[in-house]
Structure 1
């Protein structure tokens, strides 16, 4: 019985065709608007505009001191934006979805989204090098190019992607609506929680929301690559299974007859034999000149054929040997009464 993960993919009936999101006009419009918002936030921070001043006002307000009773709960709630725990939880759910739907697409879509998240957000973080509120050095400064890595907010962008991918992969409109609302609430809450805890500026959170949304909106462009990756993985799996399949190859001499596989009989010792087949080579005999005194003609051929068939189906007349010795009595002469 097969127990590997891919066994579900081979089961019948064939899975229903799922609708793959495409880059529609609405999605393109949202992608363009979100990109413009993203660039506007970056320019506003680079130019130290009113947005940077608002960042400093919230930082000096110190929300974690204004409402300290919420601190313990929000310390745990912000974990919903950490990449490690959320990736494990969402991957477990999507792995079950892959098993139920006979496809690797949910897991591959999650992997593609997380890869894009790490590349795009990580590059901007390192490039701008902004310091966080707890490490700020000059009031009113944007704290850019100082060796930091908080702009945009990784927690916020990760919350948008990891929870939003559930809505992206939903199979019904109703499920998509509910999951979209859930992911929006979680991502908004995680972003505002980082501002409350003082680990991010407000502009970091705004850019994190935009970065995560751009990945979800642009994910349909990756669908052809995801399909090819799924086909390649399944092809490699089939090759691996073919190489590991048990098979016995019997050596055959060049030009010689191929051995026929016949089941081996149990020996007279009563011990069970293997279920494998023993090769019995059927060798074609060459015609020879009959010796003197031997019978020739059709009668001789008939007798020879009958004799060969009887020999082929008779058991050996040798005395069977068992671990305790021969089963015949040591003296085979008949006993006489006396």
Structure 2
């Protein structure tokens, strides 16, 4: 007779999620990752992963169309705008934009940090090839990109084909909340602030954003472009960078980043469940206000960005004694707070508090900062 007790079926433990303040690839919603995990090996009863099925199949096309429909709803995108889900990240658009839109004309660029500087440098390569003129409207370099130059001092062109700027500089923590008041068509990089608060899409000719902040995993870039801007590409524009061609092929000129596209759709579902962009925007304001208040109430921490341009997504801060930086990072990790090291161009610390970062994580960070100041301040 077997008297051995039957083995207990192990209970599935909830995943241990640590506060992750990485600037990108960034934290994704836990609910999204759990759903993706559940569907990984058997998507919708197919016995296959969604990343294993053809992007041309009716099942995957339904995934793609649903993701676009959800994004259009979340951002209230007008009907005269096309939405593309492409590859290459936002940085590839630094080339695609002048190749599609410069067309022998002139373009204005505002530089307010690392990413807008990279954008104009890439555009200037095409200027050297004779594809058009690139005009630097103004730069915040003199103030170390802590403020936006006053618009009355801008060197704005009379006939610019477009005006390019970056809405949120991830590295410097500087955000432009209202679109510049210019006559030219606005082209904006929203990689690190898209879907973080409501915007009026109709004010822009084109919005583009790398996915790895608020949309999903790296490998995808979202482009929202007004229809009248299509069909202007230079003859030198590669086919895969031609917006009109990609619209005709519904973002599938070649095999797209299918899994990233699928995950983006799950993130859009999650955002909708949170109450949409307006609701998540209120939470983002709370998170940013809590963190900035902690910094401002202290003589130990400092944020150098002009108050009206402080990012609600990326919060850089320095310690009064930079010799304590290493200690801060070591102890913050011991406390379970990860990826707080600032970018090498700025130094100090940086907390990226994108949509998927809950308010509770920011409260844990604030508590640690206060305790650290008591100990070392």
TM over 0.5: no
Task: Tell which structure's C-alpha radius of gyration is larger.
Answer: 1
* TM-score, length-scaled by structure 1: 0.24
Larger RCO, structures 1/2 (Cα 8 Å, 6+ apart): 2
The structure with the largest strand share of the pair is: 2
* TM-score, length-scaled by structure 2: 0.23
